[in-house]
Amino acid sequence: MTEQADVTANVTAASEGIVVLDEPKKMTREDWRKKKELEEQRKLGNAPAEVDEEGKDINPHIPQYISSVPWYIDPSKRPTLKHQRPQSETQTQYSAIGEWYKRGVKETSVTTKYRKGACENCGAITHKKKDCLERPRKVGAKFTGTGIAPDEHSQIQLDLDYDGKRDRWNGYDPEEHQRIVEEYAKVDLAKRTLKAQKLQDELASGKLDPTEREHDSEDEDEDKYADDIDMPGQNFDSKRRITYLRNLDPNSAYYDPKTRAMRENPYSNTGMNPDEVGYAGDNFARYSGDTITMAQTQLFAWEAYERGSEVHLQADPTKLELLHKSFKVKKEDFKETQRDSILEKYGGEEHLNAPPRELLLAQTEDYVEYSRHGAVLKGLEKAVARSKYEEDVLINNHTCIWGSFWKDGFWGYKCCHSMVKQSYCTGETGVGISNTDCVPFEEGLTEPQEEEPPKTLLEALEAEDKRVKHIEQIMQIDERKRPYNSLLEVKAPTEEEMEAFRMKRCRPDDPMASFLGQ
């Protein structure tokens, strides 16, 4: 009767708007025995049957797995049969099975005037300037009022039911499949037409017997696709296939043939420089993005489990994420509290809130010149244009971004002088390797030449005559007997030599060219 009174009290509290969330407590041996005896008395009819929240009796012979309320319906877990009865139709109205998210631009609406709050670049009302995907205009649509881009479809909120969420064909356009079917039908028809025309040509020329061709055609249609079937992964040409092993040492990095992955570096036990290897393992590329964040979350889950918190990364990801965020906030609050307690005890907060050094010394090293009108003439650098995308993102232990270093037509990282994008930073070691003091072989053999004094125009004209005569003499010699590098120029011409070349140059299109030698 005590349990019956508890149920009645809970029903009364629920009718008055009070939510009763009695968590199940661990029963003692005596309570368990009393519960079993009460169930047996109810089955024999010696005790009144249990009632639900509506006051209806619950048959004691109904199994417990039917009378027990699922955890997602009633957290109080009181026995009831309400969830077994037909539910009312006045529930959440779900979206229709054919509704889906609309994407693209609205083709019906055309806007010719800029609207307040629209994108300043293209004029569309459905996004802002930061999210605009059009080319940045010199003068945006906000100021010109022309070339307004069409609006995109706003992302509607669909409330799909159980079947709608799991319908993998929801949102698929059947007309797209129909276009593919028609395309393949046209290709098949063209092949049949070409085949029939070829057969008619062979029959007309007498190269083929009609009965034999008909028999062969039937066999060919039956085995049309049999010879073209290959096992997955076995269709390759042995002449063009290149297969090689990176490391023959059996104690090197393990290779998983099922996933075709080699996580570790196969050259780790060879003593090679990590910058010189062509392959450093899949872990080299996998440890990027959210991988580090997930590893930190997994480490937090292990530490929390050791301290008594029942959390798991795969079982309760949302709970773990909320707990991790709460832990970070409490950790920062603890640091602030500890800092405030130290400052309160020892003082020194005025040193932390000191003004900038320029204000303390009343001077700065920045040199700026101004005109009489107040305009900056010299010393102030122009403000760097900031991009709308994320900047200064450092990855793989780099202290500089990609593109901060340039050499010989290639971009790289300034911190390690690496020319490979998304490579791992090697620091000063990489800088020392790339900046060696080695001298090229050709430069080592080349002796420095003494600079000649500049020539006058008259001397340049005489030197040009000697050069032309020298070239004419060399061109008359047989090519096989000509001296090596006889026509090679080792220095850049001066302005006087270029002017002498222009004056002495023979122009075939000049009408007076035939009189120059007379």
Band of the pLDDT at 518, cuts 50, 70, 90? low
SS3 256: strand
Cα atoms in the 13 Å half-sphere on the side-chain side of 112: 0
Sign of the CA dihedral 452, 456, 458, 461?
positive
pLDDT at 21 over 80: no
Contact yes or no for 474/482 (Cβ under 8 A):
yes
The winner for highest mean pLDDT among 184-193, 238-247, 258-267, 310-319 is 184-193
Contact yes or no for 418/412 (Cβ under 8 A):
yes
pLDDT at 187 over 90: yes
pLDDT at 257 over 80: no
247: left (phi over 0), alpha (psi -120 to 50) or beta: beta
Among the residue ranges 205-219, 347-361, 454-468, 474-488, the one predicted with the least confidence is: 205-219
pLDDT above 90: percentage of residues in the chain: 17
Band of the pLDDT at 121, cuts 50, 70, 90? very high
Sorted by where each begins, the domain ranges of the chain are 2-84, 106-151, 291-351, 395-436
Provide φ and ψ at 469, rounded to 5°. Answer: -65, -40
Burial of 274 (0-12, 13-18, 19+ CB in 10 A): middle
- 104 vs 182 pLDDT, higher one: 182
pLDDT at 217 over 80: no
pLDDT at 175 over 70: yes
Contact yes or no for 105/152 (Cβ under 8 A):
yes
pLDDT at position 57: 86
From CA 127, how far away is CA 141, in angstroms rounded? 13
Tokens 């039908």, residue located: 185
Among the residue ranges 242-256, 362-376, 390-404, the one predicted with the least confidence is: 242-256
pLDDT at position 330: 93
pLDDT above 70: percentage of residues in the chain: 76
Nearest to 288 by CA among 389, 417, 423, 426: 423
pLDDT at position 204: 84
Number of residues that make up the chain:
518
Contact yes or no for 161/94 (Cβ under 8 A):
yes
CB neighbour burial string for 167-206, b if at least 16 within 10 angstroms, e if fewer: eeebeeeeeeeeeeeeeeeeeeeeeeeeeeeeeeeeeeee
Band of the pLDDT at 65, cuts 50, 70, 90? confident
Burial of 292 (0-12, 13-18, 19+ CB in 10 A): exposed
pLDDT at position 128: 92
pLDDT at position 457: 82
pLDDT at position 329: 93
- Tell me the pLDDT tens digit for each residue of 66-100: 877 777 766 566 677 777 777 665 556 788 777 88
- Tell me the pLDDT tens digit for each residue of 45-64: 899 988 887 788 888 888 87
pLDDT at 10 over 60: no
pTM over 0.75: no
pLDDT at 198 over 80: yes
pLDDT at 7 over 50: no
Query: Taking the CB of residue 141, how many other CB atoms lie within 10 A of it?
Result: 23
pLDDT at 468 over 90: no
pLDDT at 248 over 70: no
Query: What element of type H or E holds 302?
Result: helix 291-306
SS3 11: helix
Name the token pair of 231.
Answer: 């096992």
SS3 464: helix
Mean pLDDT for all residues in the chain: 77
Band of the pLDDT at 148, cuts 50, 70, 90? very high
The mean pLDDT value for 487-504 works out to 80
Residue type at position 166? R
Nearest to 2 by CA among 20, 45, 10, 28: 10
